[in-house]
Each structure stands twice: as structure tokens, then as C-alpha cells.
Chains A and B, each alone.
Chain A
Amino acid sequence: MSNSNQKSGGAPSTGHSWDGIEELTNPVPRWWIWSFYFTVVICIIYWIIYPAWPVGKSYTTGTFNDITYNVVNKETGEATEVTTHWNTRALLMADMQRGKEALKQKAYMDEVSKASFNEILEDPEKMAFARSLAKGIYGDNCAACHGTGGTGVVGLFPNLADDDWLWGGKVEQIQATIEQGRHGYMPDFKNSFNAEQLDAVTEYVLSLSGHSMDKKKVASGKRIFNGQQGGCYYCHTTKATGMVAVGSANLTDSIWTVADVQGAASLEAKKAAVKTVIADGVSRKMPAWSERLSANDIKLLTVFVHELGGGK
């Protein structure tokens, strides 16, 4: 401020001088001093209303600034009001129970928690709510495996956006999948088959989905598939359409979840992909979510996933 420089021209020098520029002993500007005093006053007000000073093994808790929230007793379900001094944890409780956004969401949540799946699916407003909320929950918890659009990763995590389900596509089945998790397990057949047998079974499996394969090998592969040695029918059924109870894949459609047949360029590559799965087996785990997510969250997710897959 050139102005104050001139006014204070007469102040004594500190004796510091650099290249002819001299440092004077002017006092700091008055507005600055007053702002400083003001912050001191604010500080004292702060001490009064917020937890501030340690006293022995405790601390001053502040006053005029209490927070009230409800605590629901686990056993009786009864809500009691609790009032406590200001602190961020109580603030969170109050925000979850009384915050503007929380209340807005709760109104919908209460309706959803009362409604049956059919009522949600048929009500456009509830569906819109389910979509918007579940999208976030899905993004935070499921997208890392199943992908943001639900398309999954072939071999690792199944596609949820197609109409093909390992564990069933009815809402109740999807709900059970999310709540309890799933373990997709198929034993490895490395030591059960010789190269010729493995080749035959592979030919048979690919023939099921409309690939034209060697007739003789297919016939012998079918025998292995449905016989004691392979025992594939035990999980995949004799029609090879899969079984919801064990989450085995339908081998007769063109959708592949473990073996990357779609991605294979040639018939040889397709055979190699299927062979690897049969030889090495499968063990894939879908985590259980009933402890991490609330019942309502899972309900909304179920509807969301059901819709992703086209809704069966």
C-alpha cells in the first residue's frame, strides 16, 4: 500500500537496508490488530460451546450446543432419546436420523421395505428410486467384480447384464445369491481323462451349442459326459442345460461364463478354452453381503440386478 508508506515516512528505521530499500518500525495496520483480537474472542466462544480443554482424565464438553438423537434398543426395538455434548459421532447419528437428505431417502426406503418385489417392479416411482439408489450401492460394492455395466469379466466374474443365470434369475433367487454369496465349483478333470478322452468331451460340449464337430468324437464324448467316468451330467444334467441348485452353466446356449469361447477367433482356440476349463475345473466365489449391506439395500440391488439382466 503505497499510501501508508508515505504516511509512515517518519518512523525510525530498523537498521535493515537492502539495495537502498529500508525496513521501518511501523506498527502493523489497525485493521489487522483488530482482526487479531477478533479471532481471540472467537476462540473463547469456541472454548465455551465445543469440547476444548483437557481436565484430568476428561475434558470440558462445551455447552449450549447439545445434540439429540435416538438410540434403538436391539432387543426391545424401543427408541430412547439421548442428548449429549457436541461431538462428530453424535452429529452423524443425528444426521442419519434427521438430516434433510436422510429423511427424504427414508420416506422412500420405508415404502420399499414394506413393498413386495412385485409391488416395486410394477410401480414406476419405486423403480426409479430403486434404480437411482441401487446404482450407487452397486458401484461401491459390485462394480469392482461385475463391471460398472454388469458385463463382468469372462472367466472370472459372470455377466449380470444378460438373461442367462447360473443361480437363477427370479428375484428371490437373485436376492438369495446376494445375501448368502455363492461358490461356483467344478472339480478338475486333469487326472480323470487321457488326452483323447478330454478331446472327445470337449468336442461334445462344443457340439451342444451348434458348433459342427467330428461326429465320432462327439458320440464318444457324449458317453463320457453322461457316464460314470465323466459324471458331468451329475451337475450339468443329461441335457447339459445346467442346474440352478449347483450353479452349473448351461452348455447348450451360446453364452459362456468361464471358458472364453466368444472371444476365441478360431475353432481350435474355442476347443482350447473349453479344454482348459474341463482340465483345471472352476472355483469362483461370490462374497456374501448380508452382513455388509442392510436388508433394504439388498432388496434394491436385487431389483436393480434383475432389471440389468432383462428381468426373468
Chain B
Amino acid sequence: MKHDKIEKNLGLLMLFTMVVISIGGLVEIVPLFHINDTIEKVEGVRPYTPLELRGRDLYQREGCYLCHSQMIRPFRDEALRYGHYSLAAESKYDHPFQWGSKRTGPDLARVGEKYSNEWQVQHLVAPRSVVPESIMPNYPWLLKNDLAFADIADRLRALKKVGVPYSESKAEYEANVKEFGAEVAEMLDIQKAQENLIKQAQSGNYDGDANRITEMEAMVAYLQMLGTLVDFSQYDEGHFVQFR
């Protein structure tokens, strides 16, 4: 019996089990990195601004993804309820992505600009005050806690390491100007991360409190941009079919 050897050697058994299981994943995932059409060519998608990024961090800290997906699938019922299906390009700067599959609450991929900032704040602090049937938890501390952003530049640097085009050198900045335009390129400058975060928080005043920058500020800034980057009205219906 040749498999005696494997069955009696735990280390070997584990190794081969892992090899066999990873084959399934590898043959499905790896080719996608090499196929041209995986990520659609589309205008408007950009990395998160520093404030939005902090909001995204909080989204993960609070475990919002446990109840909310961010992936509209190409089905009629989803199109009617949520809008255009999600593009791969729309999460190309996500590390990790927030697609998810658990929908205790609605999908959030296109929730940006759907509601007012005031609603978002009210709903996060006390969901049942606006949606009596809701089973979403209260997140009152988002409005109480000051947003920690002293390390924002390091956060951008970490993402830069995995390929998100935040800029540090002049050349990288110039490349961003070319790719995203001057206004966005400015926002992606790591040197100015803190300054940009404060600027966006003050001009947006997402939490309705003009004197402070709370965690709510970042969370609402993030929620309000979800799914808004691509202007689908500039593409023919069915344009994105060609990428599949």
C-alpha cells in the first residue's frame, strides 16, 4: 500500500491535502490575472481619498460586511433594485474587496448619494428612528469618537505597496495627473494626506458637526461615494458585455 506513507505521516498528509485543495482555487483564479478583459476599461475609477479610506477602515472594523455585500450581480431583480451591476474595475483599488455574499441588509455597492448625509448619520446612530423595522445595530460611538488620522500617510503607503497608485515622488504624481486629472492626483499625494483629509472633512461636513472630525465623518464620506465613480450614462446599454 503506497498511501500508507502519506496516511502515517501527518506532515506529508497536510502538505498533499493543501496541494490538492489549492489546485481548485488556482485554476479558477490565476488565469483571471492574465486575461485582458477581466478588468473593464472604464473612466472615473480612482483610489479612495484619505478620508474615504479611513471610512472604509471603520467599515471593516465595525463588521458592516457581515450584513452587507457590495456586489450587484447581473440579474434582473438586482438591476431593478440596486442599479447597474458592479464592474470588476470598480473594486480594483480595494484591498481587501468588500464583495461579500451575506445580505442581512441590502447591498451597498451603489448606496452613494442615494440618501442625504443627515439620513446616514441618523441611521447609523439609531437605525430604528428612521426605519422602525430595521434590525441593524446602533453605532452611536461613530459620532462620539474623534477620528484618528495621525497615521493616515502610513496607511496610504501600505496600500501603495500592494499596487494602489498613491504618489510619493514627483514622477508618480505626474503619472497620476495624467491618469486621473490634477484634482484627483492632488488627493492621492501621500505627503498631503493629512491636509487633504482635514480639507475634505471640513468642506463636506458629513457628520453635521462643523467643529470636529468624528469617525462618522469618515464613514459617511465613504458610504456617499460608493458606486458613484463611474458615470454609466456615458456608455451604451450593454457596453460592458463585451468584456465578458
B183 to chain A, nearest CB (A): 21
Chain B contacts for A69, CB-based, 8 A: 238, 241
Chain A residues closer than 8 Å to B114, beta-carbon distance: 141, 287, 292
Can you list 11 A-B contacts with CB-CB less than 8 angstroms, sorted by A residue number? A54-B31, A71-B237, A71-B238, A87-B244, A88-B73, A89-B243, A92-B75, A136-B80, A145-B119, A147-B132, A153-B129
A170 adjacent to chain B (CB < 8 Å): no
Q: How far is the CB of B132 from chain A (nearest CB, A)?
A: 8
B75: chain A residues at CB < 8 Å are: 92, 95
Q: Would you list the 7 A-B pairs with minimal beta carbon distance, nearest first? A: A54-B31, A87-B244, A92-B74, A285-B116, A89-B241, A71-B238, A57-B36
Check if B115 is an interface residue, CB within 8 A of chain A: yes
Q: Contacts of B31 on A, CB cut-off 8 Å? A: 54, 59
Residues B70-95 near A (CB distance < 8 A): 73-76, 79-81, 83, 85
Residues of A in contact with B, size category: 35 or more
Q: Provide the residues of chain A in CB contact with B131, threshold 8 Å.
A: 143-144
Q: Which of A96-104, A229-237, A301-309 contacts B (4 or more CB under 8 A)?
A: A96-104
> Given A90-B241, A90-B244, A145 and B35 touching (CB < 8 A)?
no
> B50-87 toward A: CB 8 Å interface, digit per residue (1/0)?
00000000000000000000000111100111010100
B118 within 8 A of partner (CB): yes
* Separation of A89 and B117 alpha carbons in the complex (Å): 33
Interface assignment of B236: CB less than 8 Å from any CB of chain A: yes
B236 touches A72 (CB 8 A): yes
- Other A-B contacts than A89-B85, A153-B130, 17 sampled, CB-CB below 8 A, are A58-B37, A69-B238, A71-B237, A72-B236, A82-B241, A88-B73, A89-B241, A90-B241, A92-B74, A95-B75, A99-B76, A144-B130, A145-B119, A147-B132, A148-B133, A284-B116, A287-B114
B43 interfacial by beta-carbon distance below 8 Å? no
Q: Are B236 and A96 in contact (CB under 8 A)?
A: no
- Does B36 lie within 8 Å of A58, measured CB to CB? yes
* Residues B238 and A82 in contact, CB atoms below 8 Å apart: yes
B122 an interface residue at 8 Å Cβ cutoff?
Answer: yes
Residues of chain A touching chain B, judged by Cβ–Cβ distance below 8 Å, are 14, 54, 56-59, 69, 71-74, 82, 84, 87-93, 95-96, 99, 101-102, 136, 140-141, 143-145, 147-148, 153, 156-157, 284-287, 291-292
A291 to B114, CA, bound (A): 10
Q: Which of A58, A72, A101, A144 contacts B119 (CB 8 A)?
A: A144
Count residues on chain B whose CB falls below 8 Å from chain A CBs.
38
Q: Is the CB of A101 within 8 A of B76?
A: yes
Asked whether A93 and B119 contact (CB < 8 A) given A57-B34, A87-B244, the answer is: no
Task: Please give, as numbers and ranges, the residues of chain B lying within 8 Å of A71 by CB-CB distance.
Answer: 236-238
- Provide the bound-state CA to CA distance between A140 and B36, in Å: 36
* Contact between B233 and A92, CB atoms less than 8 A apart: no
CA distance A102 to B240 in the complex (A): 21
Does B46 sit within 8 A of A, measured CB to CB? no
Kindly identify which residue among B34, B76, B85, B130 contacts A95, using a CB–CB cutoff of 8 Å: B76
Which of B35, B119, B241 has the most A CB atoms < 10 Å from its CB?
B241
Known: A89-B244, A287-B116. A156 touches B130 (CB 8 A): yes
Residue B179 CB within 8 A of the other chain: no
Name the residue on B nearest A67 (C-beta): B241
Contact with A along B25-51 (1 / 0, CB 8 A): 000000100111100000000000000
Chain B 93-136 interface residues, beta-carbon cutoff 8 Å to A: 113-119, 122-123, 129-133
Residues on A with C-beta less than 8 A from B113 are 287
* Docked-complex contact A72 and B237, CB < 8 angstroms: yes
Contacts of B34 in A (CB 8 A): 54, 56-57
Taking a contact as CB atoms under 8 Å apart, the answer to whether B241 and A87 are in contact is: yes
For B73, list chain A residues within 8 Å (CB). Answer: 88
**Is B76 in contact with A291, judged by CB distance below 8 angstroms?**
no
B241 contacts A84, CB within 8 Å?
A: yes
The minimal Cβ–Cβ distance linking A2 to chain B, given in whole angstroms, is 27
Chain A residues contacting B1 (CB-CB under 8 Å) are 14
CB distance from B109 to the nearest CB of A (A): 13
Q: A57 to chain B: which residues have CB within 8 Å?
A: 34-36
**Alpha-carbon gap, A89 to B118, bound state (A):** 36
Partner among B76, B83, B85, B118 whose Cβ is within 8 Å of the Cβ of A292: B83
Contact (Cβ within 8 A) A54 B35: yes
Q: Which chain B residues numbered 190 to 244 have a C-beta less than 8 Å away from chain A?
A: 233, 236-238, 240-244
Are B115 and A287 within 8 A (Cβ)? yes
Residues A92 and B76 in contact, CB atoms below 8 Å apart: yes
Contacts of A73 on B, CB cut-off 8 Å?
236
- CB contacts (< 8 Å) of A286 on chain B: these are 116
Tell me the complex Cα distance, A286–B117, Å. 11
Known A-B contacts A72-B236, A73-B236; the reply to A157 vs B85 at CB < 8 A is no
| Residues of A contacting B119 in the complex (Cβ-Cβ under 8 angstroms) | 144-145, 156-157
- Taking a contact as CB atoms closer than 8 A, the residue among A140, A148, A285 that contacts B118 in the complex is A285
Q: A35: shortest Cβ distance to chain B, in Å?
A: 20
| Contact status B236-A74, CB under 8 Å | yes
Q: Which residues of B contact A89 (CB under 8 A)?
A: 74, 85, 240-241, 243-244
CB contacts (< 8 Å) of B132 on chain A: these are 147
